[in-house]
Structure 1
């Protein structure tokens, strides 16, 4: 009997040793923020699928009542935080019945306070960018800050590219939701919209994976669905018609190669490109000569 009890006790001890001590949500946030502040380099990939339906309920012609735009984006990039440098490439394909398929290629560099952008073969540069612009390009830091501002809940463990990670469900507040929406639909004037109502009516599923060893983000997935009416978008129905916009978006970002040495070199043709201010000045009409008073 004593041998049996001893055996059971040893089994309990062995089993308890296999149990993993999980951090609390706030502890995991703190460890992640601390780790992100110390990274020197990182790589990332971005994949996004998006469908936008614009429905005009005032349109009597059924074929013109609904317009659908499907967008697929795939990109990759590297960051050198120490050198304040970034490189990203992105290919975006947009299709609709009205326009057919349109493919756009973009290449972006940021070095110091200057951003260099190549869109469909044409380079421009924007010198004198404010410091917060660099923070926005730092994908890892931006992700960590959004997570830190949200409620999170541990939902188990999974591996990402062979690395053990905490699987985390994320519930954003309205401000964080607006920032996510702006990332995915950046061209829309959200400042003029009823974001409270849009937030309340939206359906968002946000999951992130955080490394158990380094406490750095490894993967982020956001699935978003919402319907915005003309009132929610702040549009005058008498001028624009009774519009409704349905949006479905699914995006995945994978982070890798933390602190792997990388050198980001801006191409010479990018450095020699005209600045956006110079291009704007050339597009402006010359000032008219003053007519002498009679």
Structure 2
């Protein structure tokens, strides 16, 4: 793990939603970071300016002040510019949701997180990348269709979806969901490294895919439809996961995407670096 010196130059990018939801935590983060390093503070008004600021960072280490959506946005932009591997990100979590940041090891308090930015270490982590250049930092889940059907309006209100207006439009559309064997089940084919784990003839109640498994593999769990006694989950591990079936949506980190009929995710081992507290 690489360590950082307080002499490093920082580019502090404060997400608009963070300023609106918790201005005091934003102020604290700015004060701690500016006192400990040469920090340039930017307050972009929207996703386009956010992208421009990040692209023009030069040699400065980017620090995202915001929620899970802001972190996902930064990783996505850097990945699509093919600059992710050479850029270490830092984060001060402000606002919400923050479950992804917490799971990745980012301290939840503004002071503790800012100190980790200054004195922490780089942790390399795996990434799930799909065939549309989307990324997943934490967990990918395909929940029951009925559960997802009610989600788009709430998800569209979250700030992280603003850069992806096409997703918002598709999620807000009054498109009828396909018929399923019963509420909460779907017929999907799941393939891991080309091997079929479950096929269309077996309804499933949920699928989860998580990067960061042993040897750079994604861990896959498929929950078949239970009739009577609870069905035993099917588990597999691999570098590529393909899901095929009638229009389905999926939860990736803090949001919902789709509908799609086919999507393939692959693991990129050690694809990105995040600053976390050092040992001791």
TM normalised by structure 1 equals 0.23
Decide which structure has the larger Cα Rg and report it: 1
Compare the two structures and name the one with the higher strand fraction.
Answer: 1
TM-score by length of 2: 0.23
